[in-house]
Structures are given as structure tokens and as C-alpha cells.
Amino acid sequence: MTEPQRPATAVDAQRAYYRETAGVYDAMRECEAEHEAALALIVPYLVRLGSGSVLDTGCGTGRAMRAIARALPGVRVHGNDPSPELLRVATEQHGIPASALDCVGSDPLPYAADSFDAVIATGVMHHLPDPAPVIAEMLRVARQAIFISDCNMYGCGRFPVRLARMALARVGLLRPLNRMRRGGNDWFMSEGDGVAWSYSVFDSRAQIAAACAETLVISTAPRPGAAAPLLRSSHCLMCGFKERLPETG
């Protein structure tokens, strides 16, 4: 008997995961309160900026696209994702026009600089071995702002573990240690999320700050650690604004 062919790379494994779970993908993510909280924060910022267009990169089945379109019907919302299976769900089950979707990855993005007022990514970065090139593309394509809703590994686990994890990351030892723990892989596989890497939105803050006039990190965890999200919040929203936010009031 011939054994089934195993994916050659982590990327292949993640694509296979999306093919196999596309039909139940939305049901598996019904309780993602962290991204719902992030979108509830993003919408007022889009209003404050006067944004007229948004790109959702790594849009999957278009959940974030639908949320923004419902809240801001006058805003043009576009999405891209490398999984044709997930995009098929977006069009066939959720009615997102095919013209608003591109079946392409996020590095590079097939759009000119400043093509969209804002670019968002929800739950994308922890699926990448190196988020920096994708974030660079988001910054290139966004005219006003980028928003990244993702996990914060420094805010997970027992407090001594959080401190140790952050210390190891700062001296460049966390990834080699994880590789040893995971049998030679930088990544790990979870039944509910597929292929993932240990990631924190705070790891991307310096890159975003270098290209933006203002950055904000807001806790979106069910138990928010607003006073110290770095070590107290398992999920956060990272906001990068190309210009200082306009004053309110």
C-alpha cells in the first residue's frame, strides 16, 4: 500500500489544512472573540481617518471584510488570500463578489503603493515563518494605516514562563529552543489552527514604528491586560498610522 504523500514544507501543510477544512472553517472560528474585539476597535479608527478603502490581506472566507462592510457600507473593501477553497466559501456562502477578491499571497501584494487607505490582517502573522516581508507590503500598499490583530506569546502561560520567553527572544535563543522542542521544526501544528509559529505583535512593533508616525497596541484578550499588554494580554491589536491621528472632540 502506498502511503499518502506528506507535505514538503510548512507552507504546503498549511495549504493542505485549508483545503481540508474550508467547508467548516467558519464554524471552527465562531468564538474568535479577540478578532471581533479588534474589528470593533478598527472601525472607529477608519471613521476617524476618513478611510474610503480597506484591504483585508489573508482574508480567508472574508469574515473581517463582511464586518467592515456592514459597519461602513460606504467603504470599498477588498481581500486577497492564497487559498482558492477559502475564497470559494467567501463567494458562494457569503456573497462576496469575486471582483472584490484576489487569489494571491501577501508577499508580494499585487497592488501599487498607497492603493488602499488602510490594510488589515487578522490572525495572519502567526502563520508565517517571517512576518516582516508581509508587513512591509502592508505598509507599502496602505496610504493611511495598517492594523494587525494577532497573538502575543509573551502574554501566555504562567508569569515566570512569560518572562523567560521574552528574555530568550531578546537574546535570539527562543527560536532555536523551540526548534529543539519541536523535533527540528520552527513551526507546530494544531488541530484548530493548522501550522503556526510562536509570534507576538510586539515583535513587529519596531518595523511598523519605523514607517509610521504613531503606533498603538491595544489588548483584545478576553481578560484584557490594558495596563501592561506586553506581559498580560494573549492577543492584541497593533495599529500603525502613517500620520498622527487627528484630534477628536
Q: Is 164 a member of any domain?
A: yes
User: What pLDDT score was predicted for residue 31?
Assistant: 52
Burial of residue 137, with CB atoms counted within 10 A of its CB: 0-12 exposed, 13-18 middle, 19 or more buried: buried
**Neighbour order of strands in the sheet with 53-57:** 101-102, 76-80, 53-57, 116-122, 142-151, 235-241, 214-219
Residues spanned by the domain of 137: 10-241
Q: Is 200 a member of any domain?
A: yes
**How far is Cα 197 from Cα 190, in angstroms, rounded to an integer?**
11
Q: Give the residues across from 204 on adjacent strands.
A: none
Q: Is 248 a member of any domain?
A: no
**How far is Cα 157 from Cα 176, in angstroms, rounded to an integer?**
20
Q: Is 247 a member of any domain?
A: no
Q: Which three cell numbers stand for residue 194?
A: 493548522
Q: 109 φ, ψ to 5°?
A: -85, 135
Render the chain in DSSP notation, one character per residue: -PPPPPPSSHHHHHHHHHHHHGGGHHHHTTT-HHHHHHHHHHHHHHHHHT--EEEEET-TTTHHHHHHHHH-TTSEEEEE-S-HHHHHHHHHTT---GGGEE---SSS-SS-TT-EEEEEEES-GGG-S--HHHHHHHHHHEEEEEEEEEEBGGGSS-HHHHHHHHHHHHTT-HHHHHHHHTTT-S-EEETTTEEE---BGGGGHHHHHHH-SEEEEEE-SSS--TT-HHHH-SEEEEEEESSPPPP--
**How far is Cα 65 from Cα 180, in angstroms, rounded to an integer?**
38
Q: Is 5 a member of any domain?
A: no
Q: Is 209 a member of any domain?
A: yes
Q: Which of 223, 42, 228, 27 shows the shortest CA–CA distance to 148?
A: 42
Q: CATH number for the domain including 35? A: 3.40.50.150
Q: Which three cell numbers stand for residue 105?
A: 499571497
Q: Is 249 a member of any domain?
A: no
Q: Is 4 a member of any domain?
A: no
Per-residue pLDDT of the chain (249 residues; tens, 9 = 90+): 333 344 458 878 888 999 999 988 887 765 579 999 999 999 999 999 999 999 999 999 999 999 999 999 999 999 999 999 999 999 999 999 999 999 999 999 999 999 999 999 999 999 999 999 999 999 999 999 999 999 999 999 999 999 999 999 999 999 999 999 999 999 998 878 899 999 999 999 999 999 999 999 999 987 655 568 999 999 999 999 999 998 876
**How far is Cα 157 from Cα 41, in angstroms, rounded to an integer?**
26
Q: What is the pLDDT of residues 95-135, one digit of tens each?
A: 999 999 999 999 999 999 999 999 999 999 999 999 999 99
Name the domain count of the chain. 1
Q: Which three cell numbers stand for residue 17?
A: 489544512
